[in-house]
C-alpha cells in the first residue's frame, strides 16, 4: 500500500507538471501567432509617400520612381499621395503629425528649407519634427532669356550683370511660383550681383515659359527639362547654369559661378519620416531607399527627369538640411517675399 500510494502521488505530480508546461506552451504559441498576425496586418498596409506638389511634376515623378523601387526592396506596396499647396507645407504637416512607424513618409523638396523662413507661423518645425532618411537627388536649373535681350547687348551673364547695374529695374524675371527654389535662385542672383531686376509672378511654370517665349518677359530661372527644347531650337537663350560645373544636357552653357563667384542653386528632393522614429527603423529605411536609388534602372529614370541621384546617408542629409535652412533664411530676408 505504501509503494502504491507513493506511485499514485508521483503520477499525479507528473500529470500536473505536464499540464502546467503544456499550458505555457499553448499560451506562448497563441501569443506568437497573435504577434505574427499583427505584423502581417501592419505590413499589409502600404507605405505612403506624401508629395506636396501636383502630379506630373519633377517632385511627383521622382517620388513615384523611388516608390516603385522601394516596394521591391521592402516587399511591400509603396504608394504616392499628392497633397499640393502652401509650397509643400500641407503634405509636410500630415507627415509631421503621423506615427513614427515608417508607414508615412515625405518626399520633400527645396521649399521645405525655404519655408522655414518664408512662413512665420508653421505648425511644425522643418527639422525637429522630421527624421531625415536620404537626400534622393538634386537638379540644377538654367538662367534663360528671351532673344529680345540681344537688343540690349546681352549675350552672357557678364553682359546681363553689366546692363542690370547700369539700368536698375529695366529688366524683369518671370517667377513661376513664389517661394520656390527657382524664385529664390533669382533673388540670390540679384543679391550676389548687386542688381535690381523686377519680379513678374505667374501661377505656374507653363504660363511663365509661354510669356518668356513670346517676349512678354525677359528672364527666368527654369528647370532644364522645361526649357531644354526651346534652347536647342533657338527660341530661348541659355545664359548660365546654376551648378558649379557644366551639365551634360547643356555642355556648352557656362556655370553662373564663373561670372558670379559662389553662386550655386539646385533644386533637391529628399525623403523624410516623422520625428521620433527609432534609430533602427531610420537605418533600415535609409538603407532600403539608398539601395533602391543605386539600381541602374532607378538612376536612369531619375536622370531622364534632369536630376542626379545623390543617395546620401541619413546623417549627411541631416547636416545638409540644417545648412539649407540657414542659407535660404538670408535670401528670403533679402527678397522680402511673403507667402501667397
Q: What is the mean pLDDT of residues 256-278?
A: 95
Q: What is the pLDDT of residue 256?
A: 97
Residue 274 host element (H or E): strand 266-274
pLDDT tens track for 72-101: 999 999 999 999 989 899 999 999 999 999
Give the separation between CA 237 and CA 225, rounded to whole angstroms: 15
Percentage of the chain modeled with pLDDT above 90: 75
pTM for this structure?
Answer: 0.81
pLDDT value at 231 more than 50: yes
Q: What is the pLDDT of residue 253?
A: 95
Give residue limits of the domains in the chain. Answer: 44-139+268-335, 140-258
Give the separation between CA 98 and CA 104, rounded to whole angstroms: 7
Q: What is the pLDDT of residue 105?
A: 98
Q: What is the pLDDT of residue 338?
A: 84
Nearest to 331 by CA among 157, 114, 122, 173: 114
Helix axes 181-193, 314-335, angle to 10 degrees: 60
The C-alpha angle 148, 151, 180, rounded to 5 degrees, equals 45
Place of cell 503629425: 97
User: Band of the pLDDT at 192, cuts 50, 70, 90?
Assistant: very high
User: Which homologous superfamily does the CATH classification assign to the domain defined by 44-139+268-335?
Assistant: Bordetella uptake gene, domain 1 (3.40.190.150)
Asked whether 34 and 90 are in contact (CB, 8 A), the reply is: no
Nine cell digits for residue 187: 533673388
Compute how many other C-beta atoms are within 10 angstroms of the C-beta atom of residue 295.
15
Q: Residue 205 burial by CB count (10 A; 0-12/13-18/19+): exposed, middle or buried?
A: buried
Centroid of chain to Cα 69: 16
Q: What is the mean pLDDT of residues 273-291?
A: 97
Q: What is the pLDDT of residue 31?
A: 43
Q: What is the pLDDT of residue 7?
A: 44
Give the separation between CA 163 and CA 195, rounded to whole angstroms: 9
Q: What is the pLDDT of residue 13?
A: 56
pLDDT tens track for 313-338: 999 999 999 999 999 999 999 999 88
**How is domain 140-258 classified at the CATH fold level?**
D-Maltodextrin-Binding Protein; domain 2 (3.40.190)
> For residues 35-69, b (16+ Cβ closer than 10 Å) or e, as one string?
eeeeeeeeeeeebbbbbbbeeebbbbbbbbbbbbb
Q: What is the pLDDT of residue 26?
A: 40
Beta bridge partners of 179: none
Q: What is the mean pLDDT of residues 145-160?
A: 96
Give the separation between CA 184 and CA 178, rounded to whole angstroms: 8
Q: What is the pLDDT of residue 25?
A: 42
pLDDT value at 239 more than 70: yes
Can you give the C-alpha Rg of the chain in angstroms? Answer: 28
Amino acid at each position: 500500500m505504501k509503494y502504491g500510494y507513493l506511485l499514485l502521488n508521483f503520477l499525479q505530480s507528473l500529470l500536473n507538471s505536464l499540464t502546467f508546461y503544456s499550458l505555457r506552451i499553448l499560451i506562448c504559441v497563441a501569443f506568437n501567432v497573435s504577434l505574427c498576425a499583427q505584423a502581417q496586418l501592419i505590413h499589409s498596409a502600404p507605405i505612403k509617400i506624401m508629395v506636396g506638389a501636383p502630379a506630373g511634376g519633377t517632385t511627383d515623378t521622382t517620388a513615384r520612381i523611388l516608390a516603385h523601387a522601394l516596394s521591391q526592396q521592402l516587399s511591400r506596396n509603396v504608394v504616392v499621395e499628392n497633397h499640393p499647396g502652401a509650397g509643400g507645407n500641407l503634405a509636410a504637416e500630415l507627415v509631421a503629425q503621423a506615427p513614427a512607424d515608417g508607414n508615412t513618409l515625405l518626399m520633400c523638396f527645396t521649399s521645405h528649407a525655404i519655408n522655414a523662413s518664408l512662413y512665420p507661423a508653421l505648425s511644425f518645425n522643418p527639422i525637429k519634427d522630421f527624421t531625415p532618411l536620404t537626400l534622393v537627388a538634386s537638379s540644377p536649373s538654367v538662367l534663360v532669356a528671351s532673344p529680345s535681350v540681344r537688343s540690349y547687348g546681352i549675350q552672357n551673364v557678364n553682359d546681363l550683370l553689366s546692363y542690370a547695374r547700369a539700368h536698375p529695374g529695366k529688366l524683369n524675371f518671370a517667377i513661376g511660383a513664389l517661394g520656390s527654389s527657382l524664385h529664390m535662385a533669382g533673388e540670390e542672383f540679384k543679391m550676389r550681383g548687386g542688381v535690381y531686376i523686377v519680379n513678374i509672378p505667374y501661377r505656374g511654370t507653363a504660363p511663365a515659359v509661354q510669356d518668356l517665349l513670346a517676349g512678354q518677359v525677359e528672364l527666368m530661372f527654369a528647370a532644364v527639362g522645361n526649357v531644354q527644347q526651346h534652347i536647342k531650337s533657338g527660341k530661348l537663350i541659355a545664359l548660365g547654369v546654376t551648378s558649379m560645373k557644366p551639365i551634360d544636357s547643356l555642355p556648352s552653357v557656362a556655370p553662373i559661378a564663373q561670372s558670379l563667384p559662389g553662386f550655386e542653386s539646385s533644386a533637391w528632393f529628399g525623403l523624410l519620416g516623422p520625428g521620433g522614429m527609432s534609430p533602427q527603423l531610420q537605418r533600415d529605411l535609409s538603407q532600403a531607399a539608398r539601395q533602391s536609388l543605386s539600381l541602374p534602372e532607378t538612376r536612369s529614370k531619375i536622370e531622364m527627369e534632369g536630376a542626379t541621384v545623390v543617395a546620401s546617408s541619413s546623417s549627411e542629409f541631416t547636416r545638409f538640411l540644417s545648412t539649407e535652412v540657414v542659407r535660404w533664411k538670408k535670401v528670403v530676408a533679402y527678397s522680402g517675399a511673403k507667402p501667397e
